[in-house]
Chain A
Amino acid sequence: MSESEEAHVTVDVTGPAGDSTGDGSGSGTGNGYEPPVVTLPAARADDPHLQGSARHPRRVEAIIGLFFLVGIAGVCAFGGAFVVGAGTQVYAATLFVGLFCLGFGLTAWGKYLMPQGPFVEDRHSMASSATERQAMAAALVERTGIVVKRRRVLGGLLVTGLGVFGVVAAFPLIRSLGPQPRSRLFTTNWKKGSLLVDQDGKPVHRTDMQVGGLLTVFPKGKQSTTTAQAVDQAVLLRVQSTKLVTMKGRGDWAPDGFVAYSKVCTHLGCPVGLYEQELELLVCPCHQSMFNVRDGAFPIFGPAPRPLPQLPIYFDSTGFLRARKGFNQPIGPGFWERSTIGDGKAPST
C-alpha cells in the first residue's frame, strides 16, 4: 500500500469534511440511515479512513518486524529440527513460534498499518425483474410442454429406461457389498461337547479357577481368528455355588459354581469383561449395563434390555470344561429378525 511512506505520526481524528458525528447520532441506528456521500477528487492521503489505526506506526512497524524475524527464525529452526530429527516437541515448538509469529505479524500489519476505513459497499438486490422471472418460468413450462404434450410416448419410454437403469444399477452398487444375513446372526461355533479353551488354546480345568475367578473362553480351535472371537467369546466365571440361583431348565448348566455367559453385550456388542466379584455383577465397559451373574445374567441397570446368553457347561471325565450345547439365545445386540423367544423373564429377587 502506498500510505506507508507517509510520515504521519499522529492521525487527525477530527476527520475530513462531511464526517460529522453529530449527524449520525441524531438518526440513531435506524435502517434508513444513509451516510453522507463525500465526493473526493481522489482518495486524500490524509483521510483518516485511509490511515492505519496505529498511533505510533513506527513503533508498530518495529514490533511487527520483530515478530517476522522471530517467525523466520522459527521456521528455520523447524527445518533444522527436521534435519536432525529433534523430536516431536521441538517440531511443535518451532512450528508454533514460526507460524504464529509470522501470522501475528501479518495480521497486525493488516490491523494497525493498513487503511482502516470503515469502508462501505453497496448491496444490490440479487433479484431479477418480474419480466425476467416470468420469462424463465415460461421457458420452463412451455418447452417442457412441447416435449410432454407432443411426444408423450417417447418421454415415457425414456423415463422407463432411465428408471430401470436406476434400479438395476443399485444391484452392483448395493447388493454386491456383502452377503445376506440369513442365519449368520443366530449361530456361533459352540456346539455340543466343545472344549472351553483360553486365548492361547489351553483347555480350562476345574482346578484352574477359585471362587471369584474370571476367564475369557472360546471353543477349541476357534480361539485365534478375529471372526470367530467376535461371536464365540464367552466369559467363564466361578461364583459360590450356594449363591447361584438356578433358573428353570438350567439346573445342570453351571456345575460347581462355574458359569459361562456370552461376552458380547446385548446392548451394543462390547465385550463384557468387567466383573465385580463381590457384587457378582458383570458390567459392560462401554455403556455400563450391569448383569447379575447369579441369576442368568439378567440386566439390573443400564441400557441393555436382554440378559447375556448363557453357555451350558459340564465337566468331562478328566475335569475339563465343555459346552453342553451352544448359547441359549442369539448373541449380541438386538436386530429386527431376532425373536425374543428364550429370553425368559427376569427372576423377581
Chain B
Amino acid sequence: MAMTGDRPRTRREARQALGPYGRVQQAVNELDDRVGLAKGGRILLDKIFPDHWSFMLGEVALYSFIVLVATGIFLTLYYVPSASPVVYHGPYKPLDGTQMSGAFASTVNLSFSVRTGLIMRQIHHWGADVFVGSIVVHMARIFFTGAFRKPRELNWTIGIILLILAIFNGFIGYSLPDDLISGTGIRIAYSILLSIPFVGSYLAFFLFGGPYPGGIILERFYIIHVLILPLVIIGLIGAHLGLLVRQKHTQFPGRGRTEHNVVGSPLFPQFAAKTTGFMLMVTGVLGVLGGFAQINPIWQFGPYQPPKISYAVQPDWYMGWLDGALRIMPSWQWSGWGHTIPWEVFLPSVIFPGVIFNICLAWPMIERRFTKDYVIHNLLDRPRDRPKRTAAGAAMIALLFTVFGASATDVLANYFHLSLNQVLWFFRIAVILVPIIAGLVTWKICVEMQRVPGAVKRKRAMVVSRTAEGEYVAVPADERPGDQHHELEAEPVPVRIELEPETVGVGGATTATAESGVRRVTR
C-alpha cells in the first residue's frame, strides 16, 4: 500500500502519521511496499501450534541441526582433510612423534590445542547422535498417529529422505578424523561398495579414487559432509517446514477439535517463547553432554593404519543396525561362471536397508492399499484405534532394535559372561521371533485397550485398611495428579474470539487487533 497524501513536514508529524506503532509500523510499511509481507506475515504470526508435547520432537531435531551447523562451522576452521602423512608434535605425549595423516593430526590438535576445540567437537558429535535419535522418535510419533496420511504423504517422504541423509552424513562425519576406529569403518564402507554385483568394483574405485585406501577419500568425504549433504538437508528442511505451514498441523482429537480447525497456541508470542526457550535448552543439554560425557576420544585410539585394529569397534548407534545385520548374516555367497555375488555382505548392508527405507517411503501407499482410505485427514489416530498399523510399526521397531542389539554381541557377551557364539545365535533367532512376537502382542494390547472404556484414565487406587474390629474396608485413595489423561479428555472448550469486521485503515491504527493480539484468523 502506498502512502498517499501530503508529505509530513516535521518529525512529529511524520511520527503521528505512522500511527501508534511508530518505527515498527514504519518498518512494516517499508517492507510491505516492497515484498508485500503484512498480510501473510500476520497470518504466520497467528499460525496455531498444537500444544501436545509430542509435537516438540521434530523441534529437537531442528535445533540439534542448528547446533550441528554452528559447531560444524567452527570445526571446519581447524580440520584438514588430508591423508598425507605428517608427524604429530603436541601436548598429547603418547602420540608425540608419531606419523599420522594430516586429518588425524588436525583433529588431535583441535582437541588439545584449540581453546574450546574439544567441547565443540564433542557437542558436534553428541549433536549428531541426538539429531538422528530425535528424527527417529519424531518419525515414530508421525507413524503411530497416522499423521503421514493424505495430504501429508509428501512431507513424510521428505522426512524419510532427511533421516537417510542424516545417517549418511553422520557416518561420513564419523569417518573424517581418520582414527583407528573410523578408519576401519571406511574400510568396511569400501568393502560394502565392492560387494554390489556387476558394478561394485567400479563404484568403489570411483568413490575412493583407486583401490583401497585410495588416498583421496577424506577430501571427498569432507566436501560431501560439509557442503553437499548439508545443503541438501537444509533445502529439504525448508521444504518440510514450508509444507507444514501450508498444510497446517495435525492435532489429536478432543473437544472442540475438528478436521477443519487447529487448536493450540499462536506462533507469536506464546509458541515463539516456548520454542526459542526450547532451542536454548537443547543447546544447553548438548553442551553439558559435550563437556561431561567424553565421546570418540580419538587420541586414545590413535591414527589409522591398515594393519592396526581394535576389538569392539562399533559405528555410531544409528549405523549399529547395519553392523548388527552384517554380524548375524550367515556366510552365504553365490559363485559361478567365474563370478561371485557376496550375499553375506550385499544382503545385510545394501538390500536390507534398501528394503527397510523403501517400506518406510512407501508406507502411505501400502496402507492405503488396505484401507482404501482416500480422504484427507487432519485429526490424528490414537495408536490403539489402528491395531494393525501399530502392530506393524512395533514389529519394525522391534526388528531394528534387535538387529541394533546384534551389533553389540561382543559387548553383551562380555558383560553377561556368555559365549559370543551363543549370543550371536540368540540374535539370529531373535531377529525373526522378536518382531513377530512384538507385533502380535502389540496388536492384542491395542484390541484389548479399545474394549476398555475410559482406559485413558488411571484407576484410583484403593486403600485397604483394617479396623479395630478386624474388619477390612476399602477406601479410594486421594486423587493424584495425572489421574486424568489431559491430552485426550480435559481440554477446555476453545472459544473463538471473533473480531469485529475487518476495518481497513492505513497502518491499521484503528482496528481492534491493536488491543487483543489474539484473534480468529479469517481469510
**A85 at interface, CB cutoff 8 A:** yes
A110 with B256: CB separation less than 8 A: no
B523 with A124: CB separation less than 8 A: yes
B211 with A35: CB separation less than 8 A: no
A178 with B247: CB separation less than 8 A: no
B272 — nearest CB in chain A belongs to which residue? A110
B292 with A99: CB separation less than 8 A: no
B201 with A336: CB separation less than 8 A: yes
A121 — nearest CB in chain B belongs to which residue? B48
**A344 at interface, CB cutoff 8 A:** no
Neighbouring A residues of B253 by C-beta, 8 Å: 29, 31
B184 with A119: CB separation less than 8 A: no
**B264 at interface, CB cutoff 8 A:** yes
A38 — nearest CB in chain B belongs to which residue? B495
**A303 at interface, CB cutoff 8 A:** yes
Neighbouring B residues of A49 by C-beta, 8 Å: 494-495, 497, 518
B273 with A178: CB separation less than 8 A: no
In whole angstroms, what is the CA distance A116 to B491 when docked? 12
A1 with B340: CB separation less than 8 A: no
B517 with A2: CB separation less than 8 A: yes
**B34 at interface, CB cutoff 8 A:** no
Q: Mark B270-282, 1 if CB is under 8 A from A, else 0.
A: 1111101111111
B309 with A21: CB separation less than 8 A: no
Given known A117-B270, A288-B410, contact A305–B333 (CB-CB < 8 A): yes
Q: Which of B82-136 contact A (CB under 8 A)?
A: 83, 115-116, 118-119, 122
**A10 at interface, CB cutoff 8 A:** no
**B9 at interface, CB cutoff 8 A:** no
Which among A175, A178, A305 is the interface contact of B207 at CB below 8 angstroms? A178
Given known A103-B284, A110-B272, contact A263–B516 (CB-CB < 8 A): no
Given known A103-B284, A106-B277, contact A42–B494 (CB-CB < 8 A): no
**B188 at interface, CB cutoff 8 A:** yes
Which among B116, B205, B273, B279 is the interface contact of A180 at CB below 8 angstroms? B205
**In the complex, what's the smallest C-beta–C-beta distance from A25 to chain B, in angstroms?**
7
**A207 at interface, CB cutoff 8 A:** no
Q: Which of B238-255 contact A (CB under 8 A)?
A: 246-248, 253-255
**A91 at interface, CB cutoff 8 A:** yes
**A322 at interface, CB cutoff 8 A:** no
**In the complex, what's the smallest C-beta–C-beta distance from A85 to chain B, in angstroms?**
5
In whole angstroms, what is the CA distance A149 to B283 when docked? 60
Neighbouring B residues of A304 by C-beta, 8 Å: 331, 344
In whole angstroms, what is the CA distance A111 to B257 when docked? 21
In whole angstroms, what is the CA distance A179 to B216 when docked? 12
B195 with A333: CB separation less than 8 A: yes
Among A140-148, A268-276, A310-318, which stretch is in contact with chain B? A268-276
Q: Which of A89-115 contact B (CB under 8 A)?
A: 89-93, 95-100, 102-111, 114-115
Which among B116, B187, B273, B278 is the interface contact of A268 at CB below 8 angstroms? B187
Neighbouring B residues of A177 by C-beta, 8 Å: 206-207, 209
A96 with B307: CB separation less than 8 A: no
Among A131-139, A151-159, A229-237, A251-259, which stretch is in contact with chain B? A229-237
In whole angstroms, what is the CA distance A49 to B122 when docked? 44
Neighbouring A residues of B115 by C-beta, 8 Å: 82, 85
B277 with A24: CB separation less than 8 A: no
Neighbouring A residues of B263 by C-beta, 8 Å: 117-121
In whole angstroms, what is the CA distance A37 to B494 when docked? 10
Which among B264, B272, B342 is the interface contact of A117 at CB below 8 angstroms? B264
A16 — nearest CB in chain B belongs to which residue? B495
Q: Which of A26-41 contact B (CB under 8 A)?
A: 28-29, 31-41
In whole angstroms, what is the CA distance A185 to B191 when docked? 12
A110 with B518: CB separation less than 8 A: no
**A199 at interface, CB cutoff 8 A:** yes
**In the complex, what's the smallest C-beta–C-beta distance from A167 to chain B, in angstroms?**
17
Neighbouring A residues of B192 by C-beta, 8 Å: 268
A40 with B326: CB separation less than 8 A: no
B258 with A31: CB separation less than 8 A: yes
Neighbouring B residues of A18 by C-beta, 8 Å: 495
Shortest 7 CB-CB distances between A and B: which pairs? Answer: A92-B291, A110-B273, A103-B280, A43-B516, A334-B342, A107-B277, A106-B277
6 A-B contacts (beta carbon < 8 Å) = A91-B119, A271-B306, A274-B311, A287-B327, A301-B421, A334-B345
Given A39-B500, A89-B292, A286-B188, 14 further pairs, Cβ under 8 A: A33-B255, A36-B496, A92-B119, A102-B277, A103-B280, A107-B278, A121-B47, A226-B305, A267-B326, A271-B306, A273-B309, A301-B424, A305-B333, A335-B201
Could you tell me which A residues sit within 8 Å of B by CB distance? Answer: 1-2, 15-16, 18-21, 23-25, 28-29, 31-43, 47, 49-50, 82, 85, 88-93, 95-100, 102-111, 114-124, 126, 174-175, 177-181, 184-185, 199, 216, 226-227, 229-231, 233, 263, 267-271, 273-274, 285-289, 299, 301-306, 332-341
Could you tell me which B residues sit within 8 Å of A by CB distance? Answer: 46-48, 51, 83, 115-116, 118-119, 122, 151, 184, 187-188, 190-192, 194-202, 204-215, 246-248, 253-266, 269-274, 276-285, 287-288, 290-292, 305-313, 323, 326-333, 335, 338-342, 344-345, 378-379, 409-410, 420-421, 424, 491-498, 500, 512, 515-523
